[in-house]
Amino acid sequence: NAGVTQTPKFQVLKTGQSMTLQCAQDMNHEYMSWYRQDPGMGLRLIHYSVGAGITDQGEVPNGYNVSRSTTEDFPLRLLSAAPSQTSVYFCASKQGRSYNEQFFGPGTRLTVL
């Protein structure tokens, strides 16, 4: 199993550009999440999904869109990038509702100029 994979590893955008961060998992996990990590802030939840076709907002959803058309994939879209979105983005998945550890991808380091 590859676990949770994320692409790209690094990305530089200009303000106003759009892009999609890819996330895929091969463990047939129901739950998937996106977090951002900024220095001194820990991880903050952006969006999450509890199954294909179901998504919901986390703590910091503004400026981001998600969709979950398949169990495996959970892309994160930045429609109009802003410097405040410079961060490291982590995708994670877990098997089900409760008592499950969460598996993390290696992260995408995004810089918005």
Partner 1 sequence: SQQGEEDPQALSIQEGENATMNCSYKTSINNLQWYRQNSGRGLVHLILIRSNEREKHSGRLRVTLDTSKKSSSLLITASRAADTASYFCATDGGSYIPTFGRGTSLIVHP
Q: How many residues bind partner 1 (CB under 8 A)?
A: 27
Binding flags for partner 1, 12-41, as an x/- string (CB under 8 A): -------------------x-x-x----xx
**Considering only residues 31-90, where is the footprint of partner 1 by CB under 8 A?**
31, 33, 35, 40-45, 48, 50, 56, 58-59, 90
Binding part of the chain for partner 1, among 12-20, 21-29, 67-75, 100-108 by CB under 8 A, reads: 100-108
Which own/partner pairs from 64-69 qualify as long-range (CB within 8 Å, at least 24 positions apart)? 64/34, 66/34, 68/32
Q: How many CA atoms within 13 Å lie on the side-chain side of 79?
A: 6
Helix (H) or strand (E) holding 56: strand 54-57
